[in-house]
Each structure stands twice: as structure tokens, then as C-alpha cells.
Chains A and B, each alone.
Chain A
Amino acid sequence: MSGKSAHKNCLLKVIILGDGGVGKSCLMNRFVNNHFDDHSFHTIGVEFLNKEMKIKNEMYTLQIWDTAGQERFKSLRTPFYRGSDICMLTYAVDDKSSFQSLGMWKNEFVYYSDIKDGSAFPFVVVANKVDISEEKRQVSEVEARNWCKENGDLPYIETSAKDAINVDVAFNMAVDIWSQLEAEMDKQGMSNDTIRIDPNRNGKREACCGL
């Protein structure tokens, strides 16, 4: 009923982390623009795209932040971690070392984002580049799932930004987990009748710069 001028944007900040070259930008571009560029450049510092999405009958704008994986950009990207609602940890299945870096990425995120409780945060582990031939694969699904299990039972999904496999699923999965955690948080908030520990959690719409 309200006029367009009074329309509100609910922003949800999603951050994609992972080693350089695992295809973070490609995942983002596939998801947002359904486009794949074989010869994309490395990301400078940060970059982000918006994508509208309906969650439980409410429209959200996913603000997807793509970070630079290269080590030299480290001090440039970490300031952007703060205020994230969702974190996607990515690696490429044909790159063992990118898989081995996952722990580092998770720690870096937890440290710099100042989130109180890493275990109650919506992480998703994304194994990209499953389009490659089986012999090139360096990280098996079993191995990856084990890692996820050991690191707080993180949800795991295999994608290919190139062949458009599971990319939407991965993002939807992340949003679902966020939504679940959010609902739990709300429930807790109501049943306990206590003041929210983290005021940011309920401020969906200012997620991008939520103070």
C-alpha cells in the first residue's frame, strides 16, 4: 500500500573468501548475472554486486562482497569483514592448497569480523570447479566433508561457476542457514526476554553497514 518512495531495502551482506584463483568472482558473477568469463582479472581489493532475493515472502537485497584472495591485498580486504551476515568459504577442487587454506580463511574472518561466536555464524563451504576432469581433482568430496564436520559441521556444496552447476543452490543454501539462525535468534530473544547481545543480528536491513 505504501508508495514507492517509502520502500525499504533489506540488505544482507554476503562475503566470499578463498585463495586467489578459486573462482570467487566467477561464482558471484554466475549467481548475479548468470554470466561466466573465462579470462577474468584478479580482483582489486574488493568488489560487490547486488542481487534481489525473496526470503520468506520478504524481499532482500543480497550484497555480495567478493574479496581479493592474493596475500598482498590482505590488509585491504580484512576491514570489509565486519558487518557480514553470511560467509562463503571457497576453494577449487583442483587446487589442494586452496583447500588447505580454508582454516586460515575462516580464522581470519572470525578474527577481523569481530563476530562473537564463530559457531553460530552462517558459513558455507563451497568447492568450486567441479567441471574439471576427475584426474585433475585434488580434493575429494569425502575429504572435504570430513573437514567441514571437524570445523563446526559446516554445510558443504560442490559448484561450477563455469558450467552453472549448483551456484544458485549454494547461495540459497547460505541464505537458508542464515534465515534459520536468525529465526532461532529471534526465538531465543523472545523466550528469554533478554536484551540482545548483538544488536546487529536483528538489523537486517542495515547489514551492509550495520552499526
Chain B
Amino acid sequence: MEEEIWKKYVRSMSEEAGATLDLRVQEIDNGWFERFGTILKDRNDEEITKSCTVDTGEAPKAIEDEVPEIETDEAKIIISDVVGLNIEELYRVVLYEIIHTVGADSDNNDKESLFQYLQDAFKMDEEKHSEALAEVREKEAPSILLNVEVIQAKELYPKDANGLSDPFVTLYLNHNSSHRYNTSVKTETLNPCWEEYFSLPAEDASEDSLVVEVWDFDPAETVSEKIGKFSGVKGVRGLRKLMKEIAITASTGKHDNEMIGVISIPLKSIPSSGHVKWFSLEKKSSRTTKRGAIQLKLGFSSEKNNQVAAQEHRHLMRLIVLQEMEHNKPDLQTWDGSFEGPADIILRQHAAQSGLRPADEKMAQWVEFIRLHTNQPLNFKMFSSIILSVTDPLNNGLYSDDEMKLFWDGTKRLLPSIFQGIRKLRKTYTPDKNCLIQLDAMLSIIAELSKLEVADNIDLFPSSIYGWLQNGEKKAPTILECLDDAIKQSASEWFVQLVESTRPAEVSSENLLQHAVKITQQVRGDLQRSIEHFDKIFYTRLKVQYAIMSYRIYDEKIAELVEPLVTEVCSTMKQLKFKGNTPDIENADVDPLTMGTSLFELYLALQRCLMLGQGLFPVGSDDFKMSKYHIWFYKGVRHWLDMAVFKATQRIAKAVELDDLKPVDNMTKFSSSPVDTRSIFHQIKLFWNQLAWPDVENSFTFVAKIMDDICRCSVFYAEKMGEKVASLGDVENSFGKSFVITNEWCLAVNNIDHVRQSIQPFTHELGVDTIVKNLSEVSNAAQADHCRETLTRLVENSVDTVQNKIIELMETMAMKMSPSIKRFLLEGAEIINQDNNHLDRLMSYLEENVGTLYSQLSDENFARILAILWDNVYNILRETVADGLERRRPPVFFENLNTTLDLLVSFFKQKETVEGNESYKKIKTDIQLHGMSTDQLILTYYLERLSEQTALNNPSYGMMTVKMQLILAHSLLRIEILNCRNLLPTDSNGSCDPYVKIQLLPEEKFSGVTKPRTKIHKKTIFPLFDETFQIQLSKEQAEMKSALVHFVVKDQDFLGIMSSQFVAESFIPLADIPITTMETSIHEMKQVHLQLTKPTSFDSDVFLALEHRSGEKLARDFIKRQKAKVHQNNNGKH
């Protein structure tokens, strides 16, 4: 499940990144980001292949690691068992039973085939068979049986070189000494314990005696040597071979065994009720030495002893199992323990004729199958079905103490293979159905056993075999404790073995990291298999939480292995070299350790391992050592982030280099590099998402750092983009060198903007909101807000900074256009008296470029660059004006500029911007004025004076009252000057001799028109003129809108009119004078009070423009006159 989610996640991430990426960009660093970003994806595939290779490669090797002692022990037991088989006697018993078959079997089966089967199973040669058959056929059932239990012996005389013996017992009745019974061989002991049962036909109880001989088995050849001899042939075949030899030995009596001691017991000495007694052993040849003692249970009965029968059944079972194994070869994986044909009949006959209960048969199976199992593994399913039928009789006390002991002895032999199976479980990489069935069976056996009470005298878990048990010193563990230990031990051993088998040959940090990655992944794989296959079985059978138990072991082991490694690597990691603020790309160390990839892989591996653990164990997973895994990597994160910037910068440089500055498709207006760059950001995000740093406070800081880095990268991109287009767009044609804005330039702007636009959404993608939310939980809301604000500001600043880069690029464009604009502007302005085409070249240049910009840029950026271009053009125009003034260009130069300016304002849509702008107003005025003829300028001056006069509130130069009428029909202007008041005295005596002169302006339009004047009034500043004048105008003059009537008050000097002094003046537009008919008398007109003024200053634009033309006589004279007005007046005041 979890695996799937991750896969999907990675897939969707990579799809999101888009398909248009230039793979060459990744190539420069061998897909560093992709390796980070898609480590998961790769690993998933890899894991699958890995588990497959392991399946065939590593696993078998692991299975061979059997525990050698077990084998040796088991082999000894097998040998002794086989040696002890009282083959001939048992043969006779079974032959007898076949002859006297009971029940349904008798009719249907050919006795001969049963004999044949038996002869084969017992390895009897023809002669022996015939002899035995003949004997048995004559045989009558004996009336009295001597039941002997050979219990034990003590203090036996040592026979072997090692000071011990391999004793066995042979018993027979004196009068039938060829009919011998043997016990099993007990190896390497002087105090053997047999507990074996025999029934001897005691035909002559009064005279006969029982001979009990204790032998040392084959002292020439130790048991170990015997094992060596047969170990070459494994399995059933080996056993059979061994058994055959023993059988021959036993039946011929030709063994090289050495007698330890003997005792002869007269039958009549045995009480009829029977007894248990110790007998001292003797030896004929040497009476002096003590040969030891043997304990026997002796008694008589009329029927075969049940214990003897059960023992017979077991022995028969043993032989038949071996025979079956060799000849019928059942599939051991599925064999259910049943037999067919003769084997089945013989066993059933024996059971029936010996009066055995089903419980006895099952016990025989249990004991004998286990015996075989230790050499030839059988399936556990069979054992689990046997134990189910044994436990009830066990609990109900149906078995004797001796049988109980047999059961536990068998169990004791079976258990190691079960625990072995459980411990080997995790080596099965792809458990098949059978494996799971076996596991289920093993666990059900354990479940059944755990319900039983173990006999006191049984040490189920001898430390020689269960060395791995953890409670070594404690008293005997329960079977469930043992299971716990087995599971833990299994995990632990598997881990150690994994570590060893994958340990890198060459010890380097990189190799060790890879090693740790491998281990962590394998562990995770193991856990997943455990969960998928085993966990449920363990829980259902025994409520054992297999996966969690394993997990806890792994958790500790991994922490133990990885923590020091990671801490070490992180603290010794080389810091990246930075050149200024840019990573030092040229001198980059490409060592994978420096790249940090493996470290990150390990991080991810641990992360996912922990996730698995948390999934298994949702509560209390904080205890896991691995839950602190990220802390180990703490110092590595900074490095990763540095690496990310480093790699991103490298890639961006490459992306820009590879960018052909063509739109990626018809729909877009950007080229390939911003797509690449965004995909790099995407990779960084992917990295961050994968990092999934668990600690909130750190997450915040890391995100802040990433945002800062993204900004860095964006700025770096902008710079690289700018450099790329820097040399483009320079053209040279017949008009000279010029710069043309190309689509490439526009693309560059769009590209940067495209990258810029990705910054804001990037914040969300980094999961900032979640981080802030978590912060407010971990810390408090205020602090979380703080952090959110910090991030917001960071992003805003980033966006702004990149925006600045765009503006810079636009400024560069504008700057590059400047020389052309300047030239065209100047050239246009210089064209005098031609058609209006002086603007053509400038405007077409602008139109061409702005057209390109308009078609390529976003509205927002177009507005921006328009503003910048306007700024630039405006400045150039201003410079041109200044320059023109400097060089005293003719009015037409400025007039041309004036029309240009108007056109530009509308072209750049700057009407609103220029409105109210002082600088604009100034330049506009300047070019307007300088574009005028001098006459116009002079008129403008007068008009300016008129407006000053109108605005005046405090007539400090006095007032004048007039009546005026314009008789338009006759083009006649009639003016009555009534008076002046409060004239400013010009004479030192505080008075003057005023008169008023009337003239019409502009002078050049009214040349020839009379300029009447009043009479001179002496010594008054309140002269009363009351004079009326008629001025005849032409029709055109009368209708001239801009014409002014100019009244000049003068002071008649003593030298006469010619040297009159200027006193004050007043203006009134001709257009303001009421139009009347000829009949209207001047007296009917309203009085008009005109304020008198004087030129106050000479720094007005108009005046300055006039002064600028001081080379021109008209202007020069005018200026002189105007200045005189003030000058004379000032003089007069003195």
C-alpha cells in the first residue's frame, strides 16, 4: 500500500514537471536532481530486481548454515537406535502376525507380497527368511512371557580409549541362547539409561535362567568414526546402509563388540509379582575388577506386554518408514504420514494383533517420524496433524510415564527444526504457498505444545543447541519465550549476516553510506514481506506480533549502525566552494560524497523504514530509535540546500546556453530556458517534499532558505538571460548603425517574467501554509504569524528583485535605442521648411520597435517598457532642446521639436503623466517659445503682461479709466481716456507731467495705424484727460483676435516729448472692446478701469526666449526698450 502511494506520488510529480524539458540540461550533472527526485522510483524497480537476484544468489547460501552439533548428535541417536533394533525377533513377530492376519485385510492381500515387502524392509537374506518363516509357522503362542525392562546401568567398566563405553545390552534365555534380544547403544557413557521393553517366551520357568550381557559396541571403531563412514551417504540411503550392516552383525553375532560384564538370573528367583532390582555385573575372565551394575524390571505375564508391543510398533514403524522412503518416495513436502499397500497392512496388523490403541499408533508416528525428520526433513503439516491427535490422550493421562518421556524426547528433537525454520523464515524471499503452510503448521505445533505441561525431567532447550536463547542463566524457558527469542534472534542474525555479506570491500564513507542504504532497504523489504506473508499467521496462531518484534530489533540495529556513520559523514562533509555568491562551478568537486546523493538516499531509506514502523505501530512509535533519524542528518541538510543552489545554478547556466530563443510553441511567448529553470525549481521542491523534515521549527528555516535560494537562482537566471541577448539587435544599414528590438529581447523579458511568476506559487507548493499551521501548534500563534510574515516578505522581496532585473533589461533596451532616437530626433528637427515629414524616421523607428514590444510582451511589461522608453525619449528630447538652444538653432528647429513632443506624448500615451508635470511644462513652454517668430514672442510677452495685469490686486502703479467702442462695420476704434489716478511720480519733487499714448499691438500688424496721444497735464498724478480718439483700422485689423490695445503713460521731460519717461502701461485685448454701431456715442459706453503696470522682472520664459535672440535686431531693441522702462523709472526715483 505505502509503496503504491509513493510510486504514484513520484509519478505525478514528474508528470507535473512537464514534458518539454531539455534533457541536455540534466545531462550536465548526470541528472543530479532527478536522482534526488526520483530516487524512490529507481529504488522501487531496483528493489524488485534485487530481491530476485537475492533469491537465487544469496538465499541458498544462507540456508546451508546448519548448526553442526545438531547433526552429530542426531546421527549418534540414529546409529544407536538402529544398532539396538532387535531385528530378528521383530521379524519373527511380524511374520507370525502376517500368517495369522486378522480382520478384512486377510482375504484381499497376497501374503507372499507382504512377506516380500517385509523381507526387503528388514534386509533379510533368503536363508534367514526361510529359517524364520519355518520357525514361526510351527510356533504356538507361548503361554508364559518373561517381561524384562532394561532400565539402566551404572559404574560400568570403561572399555574405550576415551575412558567411556558405548554400552548396549543383550539378553537371552539360557536354553535358547541363539534367540537374542538387544537394546539400543548408548554412546559414550558409563551410566546408560535404556528403559526398553522385552517379552521373552519362558517355556521352562523352573530351570531356565535369564542371561543379561552388557557390551561395549565395536570398540575398534568409535561411534564418531562410524558416523564419518556413513556421512558420505546422506539421508535415507545412508541410514539403510548403516542398518543393513548392523542387521547382519546382529543376526550373525559376528560382532567385534567387547563384553563389559554379564549377569545370569535364574527365573525361579523372580517373584511372580515381579520386581525392580540392581544386579552386579561380572566377568568370567577377571573376577577382581568391578564391572558395574544393571537395573532390571522383571516379571511374568501371559500376554504380550503393552509396552513391549508399543516398542515393537515403533521399531516396525521405523523400518517401514525407511523402506517407504527408499522405495515409494512420497513427496516429503506434502506427505501426511500415511502409508499404502503392504506397509499399511503390516502396521495395522501389528497394531491390531498387539492390541494397540490409536493413541499408541500416533505416539509411534510422532516418535518415529521425528527420528527420521532429524535426518530427512519431513513436513510440519504432518507433525501438526499428529500432535493434534496426541495432545488429548496426553492430557487424559493415557500414556505411561515412559511414553510421556518418549513424547518429550521426540518433541525435544523436533523443536530445533521448528525454531530453525522460524529463524530461517526471512531468508525465504518470495514465500510460496507451501512455505506459509509449513509456517502455519510449525506455529500450530508450538501452540499445541505451549498448552502442555513439560515433564520435569526434560530439558527441552539444552543450551548446547539453544545457545541463542537470551535468558541463558534463567531457569528453563517456556516454549513461547523460546519462540520470542527465536524471532528476535532471527531478525538479529539476519541483520548481522546482511551487514557482513554486503560489507563493502573498500572502506570509504561513500561505500559505507551505500552499504547502509542497501541494508535499510533490505530490512524494509524484509519487514514488508513479514507483514505481507507472516505476520497474520503468527498473530492468528499465537497472538505473536512478528513484524513489530522484528522491527524493534532492526530499529535498534540500524540506529546502532547508521547513526555514527551519518553523524560522522555530516560533520566531515566538505563545504561547497562559492565564488562570491555564485557557486564555484569550474572548481566543483564531483565526488559523490560531496554531492550528498548517497546520504540523501539513506535519509529516504530510513524515512520510509520509519514510516513502515509507524504504520505497524501507530501508538508509541516515538520510542523507535529511528524516529530521531532526521537529527542524525541535521548538518547534512545545509549541505543539500547548498548543493541544490549549486546544481541549479549550473543547470540554469546550461539552460540559457542551450536556449535558442524561439518560443517553445505557438501558444507561448517564452522560450525553453524558463521552462527548464522552472523544472529545476520543481526538482528543488520535489527534494523538499521528499525530505519531509519532521521537525517544524527547522522546516520553517529550511523553507526560508529555499525561498532565498530560489530568489538567487531567479536573479542568476535573469542575469544570464540578459547576457545572452546583450549582443543582439545591432543592425547597420544605409542610415548607419542602429539598434532594433528583436523578438529575442522580448523573449528574454518574458522568460525572466515567467520565472518570476513561478516564485509566488512556489511558496504554496513548498507547503508553507502547513508549516505555519504546525508552528502555531508547536509554538504559538503569534510566533507562527511572525514566521509567515517573514516568508511573505521574503517572497515579495524575491519577486521585486527579479522584477528589478526585468526593469534593468528594459532599461538596457531603451539605452541601446537612445543613439538612434537621438539621431533621428536631431535630424528631424533640422529639417526646415519642408513637408511635415521631419518626424517620419523617428516615428517609424519607434513604431517598429514598440510594435515588436507590443506584440511580444505582456500588457504589464509593455506598459513598463513604454514608460521607460518614454522616459528615455523625453530625456533625449530635453537634451536636444538644450543643445539646440546652446547652438542657437532657429525657431523652426524648436517648432519641429514641439510637434514631435506632442506626437510622442500621444504615441506613448503619456498625456496623463505629463499633465501637471513641471519639467514637462517647462520644456513644452521652452520649445513653444523658441519655436515662435520674434514678433509672436513679443506679442506673447505682452499677453503675459496682460495676464499679470489682470491678476494684480494692488495697483501700485495707479489706475486709468477709459471708455472704448469698436465700430466693427467701419473698422473704427473709438477710445475716450478719462483720467489716471495715483500715478507713481517720476520727478524728484513727487509729481510728474503725464500724458497717455495709445497704440495697437502687435506693432508689425498695425504699422501705419495712428498712435494718438493725450495732452500733457502738468504736475499731477491725478490727470483728467477727457479726450476721445478715433483710430481707423483695416477690416482685418479690426477682426484680429490676438490684437491688444496698449496704453502707455509717460512723463514729459523738460527736454520734450522725445525724451519722455515711461511711467506705467496697461493692456486690453481688442477683442474685449464692446462692438457698437456708428450711432452709439462713446459717452454711452461703460467706464473701464484699467490697472497700470510696469515690467517687474525679466526672467520669464518669454523674455528669456527673446533675450536668447539678442542677435536679432528686433529682439534686441525690444529688450532694450523693456529694460529701459524699469531703468528710467528707477532713475527717476532717485
Task: List residues of chain A with CB under 8 Å of any chain B CB.
Answer: 1-3, 5-6, 8-9, 11, 41, 44-50, 61, 63, 68, 73, 75-80, 82-83, 114, 116, 198-200, 205-206, 208-211
Q: Beyond the given A41-B779, A63-B797, A209-B711, please list 15 additional residue pairs across the A-B interface where CB-CB is below 8 A.
A: A1-B913, A2-B867, A5-B867, A8-B808, A9-B803, A9-B804, A44-B783, A45-B700, A76-B638, A78-B638, A200-B580, A208-B711, A209-B712, A210-B715, A211-B713
Most buried by B among A2, A3, A63, A211: A211
- A76 touching B864 by the CB < 8 A rule? no
Pick the contact of B716: A49, A61, A211 (CB < 8 A).
Answer: A211
- A1 touching B637 by the CB < 8 A rule? no
Contact of B488 with A by CB under 8 A: no
Main secondary structure, interface of B, reads helix
Contact of B868 with A by CB under 8 A: yes
**Known contacts A44-B787, A82-B581, A114-B581, A77 near B701 by CB under 8 Å:** yes
Complex CA gap A139/B708 in Å reads: 36
- B581 touching A200 by the CB < 8 A rule? yes
Contact of B790 with A by CB under 8 A: yes
Question: Which residues of A have CB within 8 Å of B716?
Answer: 211
- A211 touching B790 by the CB < 8 A rule? no
Least CB separation from B639: chain A residue: A75
Question: Which residues of B have CB within 8 Å of A114?
Answer: 578, 580-581
14 contacts between A and B (CB under 8 A): A1-B871, A1-B874, A3-B867, A5-B867, A41-B783, A44-B697, A44-B783, A45-B698, A46-B704, A48-B790, A76-B701, A76-B705, A209-B708, A211-B715
Least CB separation from A211: chain B residue: B716
Complex CA gap A5/B866 in Å reads: 10
Contact of B844 with A by CB under 8 A: no
Contact with A along B893-919 (1 / 0, CB 8 A): 000000000000000000001000101
- B860 touching A5 by the CB < 8 A rule? yes
Complex CA gap A138/B702 in Å reads: 36
Across chains A and B, which 7 residue pairs bring their CB atoms closest together, nearest first? A45-B701, A209-B711, A3-B867, A211-B716, A76-B701, A209-B712, A114-B578
- A80 touching B708 by the CB < 8 A rule? yes
Contact with A along B787-799 (1 / 0, CB 8 A): 1001001100110
- B701 touching A73 by the CB < 8 A rule? yes
Question: Which residues of B have CB within 8 Å of A77?
Answer: 701
- B581 touching A210 by the CB < 8 A rule? yes
- B711 touching A47 by the CB < 8 A rule? no
Question: Which residues of A have CB within 8 Å of B793?
Answer: 48-50
Task: List residues of chain B with CB under 8 Å of any chain A CB.
Answer: 578, 580-582, 634-635, 637-638, 641-642, 649, 697-698, 700-702, 704-705, 708-709, 711-716, 719, 775, 779-780, 782-783, 786-787, 790, 793-794, 797-798, 800-801, 803-805, 807-808, 810, 860, 863-864, 867-868, 871, 874, 913, 917, 919
Complex CA gap A82/B578 in Å reads: 10
How far is the CB of B272 from the nearest CB of chain A, in Å? 93
* Count of A-B contacts judged by CB separation below 8 Å: 128
- B697 touching A5 by the CB < 8 A rule? no
**Known contacts A41-B779, A75-B635, A5 near B804 by CB under 8 Å:** no
- A8 touching B874 by the CB < 8 A rule? no
**Known contacts A6-B810, A41-B783, A44-B775, A79 near B582 by CB under 8 Å:** no
**Known contacts A5-B860, A9-B804, A209-B712, A199 near B580 by CB under 8 Å:** yes
Main secondary structure, interface of A, reads mixed
How far is the CB of B877 from the nearest CB of chain A, in Å? 12
Question: Which residues of A have CB within 8 Å of B713?
Answer: 211
Complex CA gap A50/B701 in Å reads: 18
**Known contacts A2-B868, A3-B913, A11-B801, A80 near B705 by CB under 8 Å:** yes
Question: Which residues of A have CB within 8 Å of B860?
Answer: 5
Question: Which residues of A have CB within 8 Å of B702?
Answer: 76
- B797 touching A50 by the CB < 8 A rule? yes
- A1 touching B798 by the CB < 8 A rule? no
- B701 touching A6 by the CB < 8 A rule? no
Most buried by B among A48, A61, A78: A48
Complex CA gap A11/B697 in Å reads: 27
Question: Which residues of A have CB within 8 Å of B783?
Answer: 41, 44
Complex CA gap A3/B638 in Å reads: 41
- B701 touching A208 by the CB < 8 A rule? no
Pick the contact of B917: A1, A61, A205, A206 (CB < 8 A).
Answer: A1
Most buried by B among A116, A200, A209: A209
Complex CA gap A54/B868 in Å reads: 23
- A47 touching B790 by the CB < 8 A rule? yes
Least CB separation from B696: chain A residue: A44
Complex CA gap A46/B786 in Å reads: 10
Question: Which residues of B have CB within 8 Å of A11?
Answer: 797, 800-801
Complex CA gap A8/B786 in Å reads: 26
Question: Which residues of A have CB within 8 Å of B638?
Answer: 75-76, 78-79
Least CB separation from B780: chain A residue: A41
How far is the CB of B172 from the nearest CB of chain A, in Å? 89
Question: Which residues of A have CB within 8 Å of B919?
Answer: 1
Question: Which residues of A have CB within 8 Å of B635?
Answer: 75
Question: Which residues of A have CB within 8 Å of B581?
Answer: 82-83, 114, 200, 210-211
